[in-house]
A = this chain, B = another copy of it.
């Protein structure tokens, strides 16, 4: 039984409310503990905020913040009039930072190097026109770039930028630094779609990465809009063996 894992002093410890004033963090801890120890089991209804405020000798405002954050973290469901309920499946949410490649590399203590592989102004390929619901015959700037960590291939970036949305992109110089840096500086974005998937290295990709044809490749795809207008679409191919990790 999992209770074997609970040190004796904790059974009556955290679960019971300490005396004196408690911060919203303390309240979060106690509530979470009660959920995890099934004192408030799945689907059960928690006492109202006022009642909890009394128990914790705190105020409703403070209790509210604690419960609100636990709800954001996916432990509780809150509805007006209905009250606060424990979710049966811990619909926890994972959070990932979306860093710039450069930051990702330098944060890992490696040296970052960038290289422009290809630059081409072209009509939007039909799959892109369809995906972004572009008007027909739009012009796009297509770029391919490599990002290195300690001179090892780290990421291959294929990017399409809608010229109409960012005309000045045609003047930009991408030989020294990548389009992501430039876009971040020049264009705010209001909306983003992010996907993760697995693909296999084709001959082209394998050539750039330290990979063999057919190697499994972890890839992410990002599409960005500004106030409803598509700005750019990028696919990022990671070096074989890459693993994206979070803790919570």
Bound: A91/B197 CA distance, A: 21
**Structural contact, A2 and B165, CB atoms closer than 8 A:** yes
- Chain B proximity mask over A89-125: 1 for CB below 8 Å, otherwise 0: 1111111111110010000000000000000000000
Query: Which residues of A from 196 to 248 have beta carbons under 8 Å from B?
Result: 196-200, 214-219, 226-227, 229, 231, 240-248
A83 within 8 A of B: no
What mask results when residues 1 to 33 of chain A are scored 1 for a CB within 8 Å of chain B, else 0?
A: 110111100000000000000000000000000
> Among B186, B198, B248, which residue has its beta carbon within 8 angstroms of that of A2?
B186
Q: For chain A residues 171-210, which have a beta carbon within 8 Å of chain B?
A: 184-200
Of A184, A216, A217, most B-chain CB atoms within 10 Å = A216
Q: How many residues in A have their beta carbons less than 8 Å from beta carbons of B?
A: 66
Bound Cα distance from A197 to B219, whole angstroms: 9
Complex Cα gap A35–B189 (Å): 10
Chain B residues lying within 8 Å of A188, measured Cβ to Cβ, are: 2, 35-38, 90
Closest CB of chain B to A137's CB: distance in Å?
19
Q: How many copies of the chain does the oligomer comprise?
A: 2
A197 CA to B93 CA, complexed, in Å: 18
Does A153 lie at the interface of the complex (its beta carbon under 8 Å from any beta carbon of B)?
no
CB distance from A115 to the nearest CB of B (A): 20
By a CB distance below 8 angstroms, the chain B residues around A218 are 196-198
Residues of B within 8 Å of A187, CB to CB, are 2
B246 engages A194 (CB within 8 Å): yes
> Which parts of A64-108 form the interface with B (CB within 8 Å)?
74, 88-100, 103
Q: Is the pair A5, B194 in contact by a Cβ cutoff of 8 Å?
A: no
- A198 and B199 contact, Cβ closer than 8 Å, known pairs A2-B188, A74-B97, A189-B90: yes
6 closest cross-chain pairs (CB), A and B: A36-B188, A198-B198, A198-B218, A198-B216, A197-B243, A216-B216
A-B residue pairs in contact (CB < 8 Å), sample of 6: A92-B97, A94-B97, A192-B248, A195-B245, A195-B246, A198-B217
